[in-house]
Structure 1
Amino acid sequence: MTLPIYPDLHDTSVFITGGGSGIGAGLTEAFLRQGAKVAFVQRSDASEFCDAMAQSTGNRPLFTSCDITDPDAVRAAIEQAAAVHGPVQVLVNNAANDQRHTLAEVTPDFMDWALAINFKSYVFTAQAVIPAMQEMGGGAIINITSISYMMGNAGYPVYTAANSALNGLTRSLAREFGPDRIRVNALAPGWVMTPKQLEQWVTPDALAEHLKRQCLPDSLNPEDIAGGVLFLASNTSRAMTGQALVIDGGVVVTG
């Protein structure tokens, strides 16, 4: 799949959470191929991924090992990225954890953990980048959610609640910081065939059943999401904010 080139993204300072695996790895590669200056965080070591990206794109990302549930650690990583690449112009809140659970299994500690990853981290990364965006006269924040809360599925109620809350956060931040020309949008992927999904939850029967719910017959890959994120990051979408863009093969219907 060949992604379009957005010339205005060249040399743009981009910060991605969870940018070394799954959908995030696809986003990191997509921005690198635009000539952007990409920094990303995740807990696990991503040195080999950075080496591979430098070799395949000629553009090496800046990786910082970081627990995104620690606001101070995230702020420090953003400051490091700004020192190397310049103030963050595009933030992609991507890191999440869709661990399966039932309501009966939810404990206060589990709920705190799930909300810290899937909602709280989005709040504090945005808080950390917005002052510099205000000084620069604008920026773009993209919150990666999912269609999980739209489908009405059982099996991860705290995760779907956090995903729904991200839309409220997106709209409120878009309204608050629109006068600063900071655009805030959400992107909701469908079921994307990442290594984690393939290892833990994708079975032939489950995939076949899900594809029946899509309008399009093909399963989704990380690069299918990257095009939408590039569009939302680019000035091509300069008049778009407070919106939720769905890329799911046609499972849910918006509007």
Structure 2
Amino acid sequence: MSGAIYPDLEGKVVLVTGGGSGIGAEIVRHFARQKSRVVFVDIAREASEAVVAGCRDAGGDVTFKYCDLTDIPSLKRAIAEVRNQTGPVQILINNAAHDERHPTETVTEELWDDRIAVNLKHQFFAAQAVLPDMREARAGAIVNFGSVSWMVGQGGMAAYTAAKSAVLGLTRSLARDYGPYNVRVNAIAPGWIMTERQITKWMTPEGEVELMQRQCLKRKMVPADIAKFTVFLASDEASGCTNQHYVVDGGWV
């Protein structure tokens, strides 16, 4: 693992949602490399425990807490436990999401509510839970994860793209409200990142050809591309950055 080291991140309490796999796991590893005190929540126990073991073997301070993010009371309890055991959250990375495809004709009210819950709702309530401490400290950084899917007009997942486009509005509202307290809130929209899930479920030879035609950079984007930028955005090197939506997609959009 390579990349810049930001001394101000050492010892910072970082909470990552969905840190057990994919982009989230790579974000956890990169903050651990910064010597941050990292706590992540996830619903996948086995994968999450493997991430913890790997980070601790490398000397990282990483803790996993089981949590179903669609259960908001459980999310609030998990964040309260982090505060009591580790200290107030200073950096929140709202990464967790689920990009399952869903043809419009088959979407029920229950499915719609579930897609909003897993892709958007928890971001607001996680932020709500940590913002009072950030306001009191007059410092903090929140990074919310969106997606380029709505920007490229991707079909077959209307509830997902609706939720991810809403992340931008949430980000800008929170940035405006908490900017006077020196709390920065930004959003990242990843492109097509080659996580194990994406490679297994969605990447086809035809899809790869199309991606290489559309991207400016003629290489596959990987989770580290997103993790490195996330760490930068949380650091003091990005102290003037807030209320923004950063696309990290290799020039796809």
TM-score band (shorter)? Answer: over 0.9
* Residue in structure 1 matched with residue 18 of structure 2 by the alignment: 18
Q: Which amino acid aligns with 2:72?
A: P
Assess if the C-alpha contact under 8 Å between 2:36 and 2:61 holds in 1: no
- Residue aligning to 2:51: 49
CA RMSD of aligned residues (A): 0.9
Q: Distance in 1 between matches of 2:25 and 2:240?
A: 27
Structure 1 position 67, deviation (Å) = 0.4
Does structure 2 retain, via aligned residues, the 8 Å contact 1:62–1:81?
no
SS at match of 1:92: strand
Runs of 4 or more above 2 Å deviation: none
- Give the Å deviation of 1:83: 2.1
| Superposition deviation, residue 47 in structure 1 | 1.5
What do the CA deviations read for 1:72-104 (whole angstroms, capped 9, x no partner)? 111111112222321100000000011001111
Tell me the TM-score normalised to structure 1 length: 0.96
Letter in 1 for 2:19: G
Q: Which residue of 2 aligns with 1:9?
A: 9
Identical-residue share of aligned pairs (%): 46
Whole-Å separation in 2 of the counterparts to 1:207 and 1:197: 11
Q: How many residues align structurally?
A: 251
Question: Deviation per CA, 1:94-119, whole angstroms, max 9, x where unpaired?
Answer: 00011001111110000000000111
Deviations 1:184-215 (A, max 9, x none): 00001100010111111111221121121100
Could you tell me which residue of structure 2 aligns to residue 36 of structure 1? 36
Aligned partner of 2:163 in structure 1 is 162
Q: Secondary structure at the match of 2:203?
A: coil
Structure 1 gap segments, 5+ residues each: none
How is 1:118-137 mapped onto 2 (pairs within 5 angstroms)?
118-137=119-138
Q: CA deviation at 1:12?
A: 0.4
Alignment of 1:54-69 (within 5 A): 54-55=56-57, 57-69=58-70
Which one-letter code corresponds to 1:16 in the other structure?
V
Quote the residue 1:98 is aligned against: 99
Give 1:1-255 correspondences, 5 Å limit.
Answer: 2-45=2-45, 46-55=48-57, 57-252=58-253
Residues 115 and 158 of structure 1 are in contact (CA less than 8 Å); yes or no, is this contact kept in structure 2? Answer: yes
Give me the whole-angstrom Cα distance separating, in 2, the residues matched to 1:133 and 1:234: 15
Q: Which structure 2 residue ranges, 5 or more long, are not aligned?
A: none
Q: Is the 8 A contact 1:51 1:60 kept in 2?
A: no
Asked whether the equivalents of residues 35 and 61 of structure 2 are also in contact (C-alpha less than 8 Å), the reply is no
